[in-house]
Amino acid sequence: MSAAEQPVETPSGIPLAAFYDQGAGTAKPPPGRYPFTRGIHTDMYRRRLWTMRQYSGFGTAQETNERFRFLLEQGQTGLSVAFDLPTQMGYDSDSPRATGEVGRVGVAIDSLLDMETLLEGIPLDAVSTSMTINATASSLLVLYQLAGERKGVAGHQLNGTVQNDILKEYAARGTYIYPPRPSMRLVTDLMAYARQEIPSWNTISISGYHMREAGSTAVQEIAFTLANAIAYVQSAIDAGLAVDDFAPRLSFFFNAHSDFLEEVAKFRAARQLWAEIMRDRFEAHNPRSLLLRFHTQTGGSTLTAQQPLNNVVRVALQALSAVLGGTQSLHTNGYDEALALPTEQAATLALRTQQIIADETGVPAVADPFGGAYVIEYLTDSMVRQARELIEQVEERGGAIAAIEAGYVQAEIEEAAYRQQRAIESGRRTVVGVNRYRQAEVERIEVLEPNPELERRQVEGLERLRAERDDGAVASALRRLADAARGDDNLLYPIKDAHAVYATIGEVSATLRSVFGTFLNPAPHTQSGVSL
């Protein structure tokens, strides 16, 4: 008898079915059936628990490798890599623009040498890895592939996700390099490349997380994420890919904020809308093309520096909403992240939070346990309707790319952020420990202090690499990349060739900048006339 067939009971001995219908005339099909409002699998977590994928990365590749191995020993089931800002923006650690930012908010990766160090001792054929990277996603993916090949792991054995969602960078986050249209070429080139070379890789994680962090509402998070997804699918089709060839490898990335019931309903609404879009608009026939598979991270912007231990409760409830909503993988934030990168103690407690939900609450035994609750169904239907209307507004403006180029999406998010901040400042919205239930005495907790020697060591390593590599091979590979960028060949192949001879991320990005140029985002204003 498989694990999914084992009888499941509550602690009182009450048997539990895998899911429960509302009875005759129910408006929602059961889990595992179109439009998948109630979940993408009939037995959901009885089949397999969500992947516990703690987002981690700081300092040098060596330091992050040590944290990864520690988390895997603690029971983490997947890796999630955070990169520092220079790596995200296509600058090497010795660039003047990188000064003071090397290794601060993630790990510094300049070359294949760093990637090999980052993954030392990690079984890449057994561990799934998510990389939160966008403008330089093509470089990081081929660096991961090259590191795998040098460990004897072929591309078809690699599993993971690369975020590769550049549109939300223009809308909410800001780590873009090139204008939107050449950036979209890199996105679709990566999708086509991975289909051939790394077939089990999820080639894009279309993210609402960062738009929510920037201040969007839950409805905007769904709508703008799916509007971006529509643009990616259409671009891939226009590039000659068949929808059912790539759509099953699409994944999504959502936030879990603190309004518990709305968050549960949000995940259900997003699943339903995506299934409808893929079936009705893009005429996908493969059932897997209709499935919205998503990763969730608890809300970083909800964490408070005041009374930071309160964040333990916030994270636990947010994580529970994601599980009730049917997430496929989950990151739980450390309670100290409003102050610094998480300590090992905070990261371990965040992981234990997921393990308690998985092993002690009984919640994973039933798919969509809130399904049929009047308020959840009301919220789900309301969010489907409102998000659909907002997607239509984006489409009326020419689609996601045109709406972003015009500043429409940015302005809508900033208006929502402005309204939320006014509600907090006026006291209409309570943030415990910030505008209510404050205390004069400051809680003292241990925080992770950045190593002042880190940047120097990273730069010295980069200098050694440049002294030892074959500069002629690097220059030749970069010339071939520039020629490819001027044409229409898939760019991932010359990018891989350049990194294989130890060209740096900064050099590859500079080569593409020389062809594509850079992008200046329009400065949006809130509809109330206040510039934020």
Convert the pLDDT of each residue in 461-512 to its tens digit: 999 999 999 999 999 999 999 999 999 999 999 999 999 999 999 999 999 9
Q: Report the C-alpha dihedral over residues 267, 268, 269, 270, rounded to 10 degrees.
A: 50
**Could you tell me the pTM of the whole model?**
0.89
Least Cα distance to 378 among 239, 248, 493, 269 occurs for 269
User: Is residue 530's pLDDT more than 90?
Assistant: no
- CA 85 → CA 94, 175, 248, 527, distances in Å? 13, 8, 30, 31
The two structure tokens encoding residue 400:
């996601």
Indicate if the alpha-carbon torsion angle 161, 19, 42, 77 is positive or negative.
Answer: positive
Which amino acid would we find at residue 5? E
Say how far apart CA 55 and CA 62 lie, in whole Å.
Answer: 16
Output DSSP code: residue 171.
I
Indicate if the alpha-carbon torsion angle 394, 517, 233, 289 is positive or negative.
Answer: negative
Which amino acid would we find at residue 375? V
Burial classification of residue 261, based on how many CB atoms lie within 10 Å of its CB (0-12 exposed, 13-18 middle, 19 or more buried): middle
The per-residue pLDDT for 523 is 53
Q: pLDDT-based confidence at 451, cuts 50/70/90?
A: confident
Summarize pLDDT for 327-363 with one digit per residue, the tens.
999 999 999 999 988 888 999 999 999 999 999 999 9
User: Is residue 450's pLDDT more than 80?
Assistant: no
Output DSSP code: residue 214.
T
User: Is residue 532's pLDDT more than 60?
Assistant: no
β-strand partners of 205: 251
Query: What is 48-426's CATH number?
Result: 3.20.20.240
Quick one: three-class SS letters along 14-82?
CEECCCCCCCCCCCCCCCCCCCCCCCCCCCHHHCCCCEEEEEECCECHHHHHHHHHHHHHCCCCEEEEE
Residues of each domain in the chain carrying CATH 3.20.20.240: 48-426
- CA 318 → CA 311, 322, 430, distances in Å? 10, 7, 17
